[in-house]
Structure 1
Amino acid sequence: MSKSIVRAVDLRQQVYENLRSRITSGEFDKDTRFYERTFADELGVSRTPVREALAMLEQDGLLSQAARGYRLPRMSRQQVIDVTEIRLLLEPHAVASMVRDTSPGELKKMAAKIRKEVADSRDSGAYISSHGRLRELILGKVRNRALVDAIQQYEDSIHFVRVSTLGQADWRRMSAEGMLELADALEAGDAEAASEIQGRLLTKARDSFLEFSDAEG
């Protein structure tokens, strides 16, 4: 009689998912250093799965190698400008197509979800995570998955831009106001307005980061 094989728990994947979630939610300060021993002790695992998880995060663009360990990546002003140019070509079109392809009832539900998320988090650091969930909600309704894949190619590599900007109360307020305008456009089924608002949100994010970068020196 054969016995089924019990698959070992993939500690590397668990560590990877734990750290990825925390990085993209903005939990770590921009100057945080990521060391194998630190997270091995914190998570109660050996250094090997932590080492492998950190390498995976570097491959994803979420971490960069430092003299010792890893750190959050840095993007130059020009990189942010260039990536935003690409996103401005893709995301407004994706949002407009989503509005055209989605039923009025579903758009109304999405608008309500956006308003609730913003109301629950706009005045706190939780807005960073909330903002990410709302992007997933919107992109999840885009029918052209190849277009979504192209957009998400830049999602992780610029997460620190959102952390830098949305961590500031004024910029968080501007983003929240823009998301509420987007909710109104979705509920109205106005694809053109939704596209314009999405473009404006991306432009504000770029300009806010450049202002942040200038202030940092």
Structure 2
Amino acid sequence: MPSARDSIYATLRSRLTSGHYAEDASLIPQVLSEEFQVSRTPVREALGLLERDGLLVSTQRGFALRKRSDEEMLEIFEARAVLESSAAYAAALRRSPIDVARLDDLLTRTRAEGEPEGIRRCFNLWHEAVRQAAHNQTIGSLLHTLDAQAKLSAPWKTPLAEGTFDASIAEHETMTEAIRSQDAERARALMLEHQAHDRDTRILQLVSQMARTAPVDQLPPVHSGRRSTY
């Protein structure tokens, strides 16, 4: 059974990565301890873990959401792409029949989903299945942290352009076949390309989101054509 600290950590992490808190929210240990009906010790420990994960920063009153620059977000996307491609490479070499069956099942569930949130959930589960097939806990742990950092700062909940889901599903299918056939280099290359597409989509969403909320003269310059160098 998880400890109070671990339960609070999991709840707060889920809130942070799903847009539950406003950007200027302040997480105060006393307030949270009253909400969770526990002492401040497990709350402070959970907040400390979230700060270690790069999701929060300590303040005089408590903790604030960590804000990242555009350059930091690009660094997170690049680091995640390197690790995701390494996971795909390892998965192609180490996957078991159960791993392949899990990937196939998630593809079937994705195609059957009719709601965007359900498709997103299947996408996340498919990537988690690739990481499991890699049988490398270090890569999985690092990606778990980078996922949270990206979701906290990137506009994951904004609408996607028509056809985005179809393109991603097709890419997942192609990568699954590379993993099934144990073509490690192809799996790695396909995952790098897939991650680059995801990064570019999120950058365009971020610029679009900023355009709706900021005066034109305050918008940052858009550096088109920047690609990952890994």
**TM-score above 0.5, yes or no:** yes
- Structure 1 residue 154 corresponds to structure 2 residue 158: no
Q: 1:46 aligns with which of 39, 42, 62?
A: 39
Q: 1:139 aligns with which of 118, 128, 131?
A: 131
- Structure 1 residue 186 corresponds to structure 2 residue 179: no
| Aligned-partner SS, 2:160 | helix
- Structure 1 residue 207 corresponds to structure 2 residue 203: no
Q: 1:174 aligns with which of 164, 187, 193?
A: 164
Alpha-carbon distance in structure 2 between the residues aligned to 1:117 and 1:51: 39
Alpha-carbon distance in structure 2 between the residues aligned to 1:104 and 1:73: 41
Deviations 1:189-214 (A, max 9, x none): 35455434322332133223323433
Query: Aligned partner of 2:192: which letter?
Result: G
Runs of at least 5 residues in structure 2 that lack an aligned partner in the other structure = 211-218, 220-230
Q: 1:64 aligns with which of 54, 57, 67?
A: 57
| CA apart distance, 1:180 | 4.3
Alpha-carbon distance in structure 1 between the residues aligned to 2:194 and 2:60: 36
Amino-acid identity (%) = 22
Number of aligned residue pairs: give it: 206
Q: Does the CA-based 8 Å contact 2:103-2:126 persist in structure 1? A: no
Q: 1:132 to 1:71 in 2, by over 3 A?
A: farther
| Aligned-partner SS, 2:38 | coil
Alpha-carbon distance in structure 2 between the residues aligned to 1:63 and 1:180: 36
Alpha-carbon distance in structure 2 between the residues aligned to 1:212 and 1:117: 23
Q: 2:188 aligns with which of 167, 170, 195?
A: 195
Structure 1 range deviating more: 181-190 or 70-79: 181-190
Runs of at least 5 residues in structure 1 that lack an aligned partner in the other structure = 1-8
| CA apart distance, 1:98 | 0.9
| CA apart distance, 1:139 | 0.4
- Give TM-score, length-normalised by structure 1: 0.73
Query: Aligned partner of 2:39: which letter?
Result: S
| Aligned-partner SS, 2:146 | coil
Q: Does the CA-based 8 Å contact 1:127-1:172 persist in structure 2? A: no
Q: What's 2:214 paired with? A: none
- Structure 1 residue 34 corresponds to structure 2 residue 27: yes
- Structure 1 residue 13 corresponds to structure 2 residue 6: yes
Q: What's 2:216 paired with? A: none
Q: 1:59 to 1:173 in 2, by over 3 A?
A: farther
Query: Aligned partner of 1:69: which letter?
Result: G
Alpha-carbon distance in structure 2 between the residues aligned to 1:97 and 1:205: 21
Q: What's 2:48 paired with? A: 55
Q: Does the CA-based 8 Å contact 2:19-2:152 persist in structure 1? A: no
Q: What's 1:115 paired with? A: 108
| CA apart distance, 1:152 | 4.5
Alpha-carbon distance in structure 2 between the residues aligned to 1:181 and 1:154: 21
| Aligned-partner SS, 1:78 | helix
- Structure 1 residue 97 corresponds to structure 2 residue 90: yes
- Give TM-score, length-normalised by structure 2: 0.70
Deviations 1:157-198 (A, max 9, x none): 323245x23x12216962564144313431463545543432
Q: Does the CA-based 8 Å contact 1:122-1:172 persist in structure 2? A: no
Q: 1:205 to 1:67 in 2, by over 3 A?
A: farther
Structure 1 range deviating more: 34-43 or 54-63: 34-43
Q: Does the CA-based 8 Å contact 2:81-2:192 persist in structure 1? A: yes
Tell me how large the CA RMSD over aligned residues is.
3.4
